[in-house]
């Protein structure tokens, strides 16, 4: 289990002031769950993810993965970035297998695994292309395959589909659910689309800015329903979905104050 406990982050701003980017955020990510962080721009979502990934030390609080504190980046936490970070001098297969290369896996085995993963994300036959021959959505899929290659305990995704058109985005969401259902990976996913959060999350945490904090939490099962029935329409048109959509919308758009945390737990 990944546990974030009272995590706070203060950044030094240029003019000497202090930015309170994250305020006592607590979060558990269990096996088989997708935790989605949702909130307006600047509410500390990326800050939280960077801390979990180990790119950013906390000012206060703690993060543990299966009981061990998280201090630096590592192959046990796969990261999918918003901007793709594929290496332009390597082929798609080499990019996917990069983590395996770092781990010292022999070349033949790397290649097999890369092809297997490319199949999983629907990119068979692109192993020998270079990244700049792929579309944005395809690159993002390569990024997911690369993060999965080292078999991490958890997948951290910072608005991975933010730059994609809505059609591709839907395909990618379904693909992610497939991957999740097949591999049982824990996923921490950032978005500012309410719909995406509702569709993907087994847990949705809503965050508010200045200081960045978690203001609401919802336990959902639309994603399990989709994994079982594969019927998007039924989910999107269900009254529960619309209800939750409005409720979250209200929270996101509500003027923020430093009052007690709202803990919505419809279930």
Partner 1 sequence: MTDLTRRDESVIAPPATPKLVRLHPFGLDGARTAPISLATALVLVGAWFLVAEFRLVPPLFLPGPQEVLAQFLAIAEEGYAGATLWEHVSASLFRIFTAAFVAASLGIPLGLAMGLNRWAKGVFDTPIEFYWPLPPLAYLPLMIIWLGIGEVSKIVLLTLAMFAPVCLSAQAGVRALPIERVNAALSLGATRWQIFREIVLPSALPEILTGLRIGIGVGWSTLVAAELIAATRGIGFMIMSASHFLATDVVFVGIGVIAVWAFAFSYGMRLLEAWLVPWKGKL
Least distance to ligand ATP, CB of residue 124, Å:
33
Residue 13 or 258 with smaller CB distance to ligand ATP? 13
Sign of the Cα pseudo-torsion (210, 216, 219, 225, in order):
negative
Should residue 103 be labelled a site residue for partner 1 when binding is judged by CB under 8 A?
yes
3-state secondary structure of 121: coil
Q: Which of 8, 33, 47, 140 binds ligand ATP (CB under 6 A)?
A: 47
User: Left if phi > 0, otherwise alpha if psi is -120 to 50, otherwise beta: which for 116?
Assistant: alpha
* Contact criterion met (CB below 8 Å) for 123 and 141: yes
Under rule CB under 6 A, residue 46 binds ligand ATP: yes
Per CB under 6 A, contacts with ligand ATP among 96-125 are none
Q: Is 77 in the site for partner 1 (CB under 8 A)?
A: yes
Judge if the upstream peptide bond of residue 211 is cis by omega within 30 degrees of 0: yes
Q: Which of residues 78-97 bind partner 1 (CB under 8 A)?
A: 78-79, 81, 83, 85-89
Instruction: List Cβ<8 Å contacts ≥24 apart for 195-199.
Output: 195/236, 195/245, 196/36, 196/161, 196/169, 197/36, 197/38, 197/248, 198/222, 198/241, 198/244, 198/245, 198/248, 199/173, 199/223, 199/226, 199/235, 199/236
Tell me which stretch binds ligand ATP (CB under 6 A): 35-43, 143-151, 165-173, 195-203.
Answer: 35-43
Give dist(CA 171, CA 128) in Å, integer: 23
Q: Which is nearer to partner 1, 97 or 172 (CB)?
A: 97
Please, which of residues 200-259 interact with ligand ATP by CB under 6 A?
212
Shortest distance, position 84 Cβ to partner 1, whole Å: 9
Partner whose binding site includes residue 42, from partner 1, ligand ATP, Mg ion, none (CB under 5 to 8 Å by kind): ligand ATP
Per-residue interface string for the shown chain with ligand ATP, residues 157-196, x marking contact by CB under 6 A: -----------------------------------x----
Q: What is the DSSP letter of 135?
A: -
How many residues sit close enough to ligand ATP to count as binding (CB under 6 A)? 14
Please say which residue, 162 or 264, places its beta carbon nearer to Mg ion: 162
Residue 7: strand pairing partners: 25
Report the distance separating Cα 184 and Cα 68, nearest Å.
21
Q: How far is the CB of 75 from partner 1 (least distance, A)?
A: 3
Residues 151-210 that bind partner 1 (CB under 8 A): none
Edge to edge, what strands does the sheet with 34-39 contain? 77-80, 154-158, 186-191, 34-39, 203-208, 213-219
**DSSP-based three-state secondary structure for 218:** strand
By CB under 8 A, name the binding residues for partner 1. 53-55, 72-75, 77-79, 81, 83, 85-89, 98-99, 101-103, 130-132, 146-147, 149-150
């Amino acid at each position: 289990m990944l546990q974030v406990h009272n995590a706070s982050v203060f950044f030094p701003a240029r003019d000497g002031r202090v930015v309170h980017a994250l305020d006592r955020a607590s979060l558990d990510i269990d096996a088989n769950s997708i935790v989605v962080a949702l909130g307006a721009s600047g509410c500390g979502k990326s800050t939280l993810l960077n801390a979990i990934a180990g790119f950013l030390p906390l000012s206060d609080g703690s993060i543990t993965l299966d009981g061990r504190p998280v201090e630096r980046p590592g192959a046990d936490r796969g990261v999918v970035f918003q901007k793709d970070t594929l290496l332009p001098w390597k082929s798609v297969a080499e990019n996917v297998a990069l983590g395996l290369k770092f781990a010292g896996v022999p070349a033949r085995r790397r290649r097999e695994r890369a092809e297997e993963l490319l199949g999983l994300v629907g990119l068979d036959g692109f192993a020998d292309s270079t990244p700049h021959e792929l579309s944005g959505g395809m690159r993002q899929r390569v990024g997911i395959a690369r993060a999965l290659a080292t078999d991490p305990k958890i997948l951290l995704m910072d608005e991975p589909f933010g730059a994609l058109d809505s059609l591709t985005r839907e395909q990618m969401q379904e693909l992610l659910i497939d991957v999740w259902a097949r591999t049982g990976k824990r996923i921490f996913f950032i978005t500012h689309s309410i719909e995406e959060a509702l569709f993907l999350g087994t847990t949705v945490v809503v965050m508010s800015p200045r200081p960045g904090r978690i203001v609401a939490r919802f336990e959902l099962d639309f994603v399990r329903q989709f994994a079982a029935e594969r019927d998007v329409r039924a989910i999107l048109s269900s009254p529960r979905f619309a209800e939750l959509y409005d409720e979250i919308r209200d929270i996101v758009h509500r003027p923020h104050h430093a009052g007690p945390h709202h803990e919505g737990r419809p279930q």
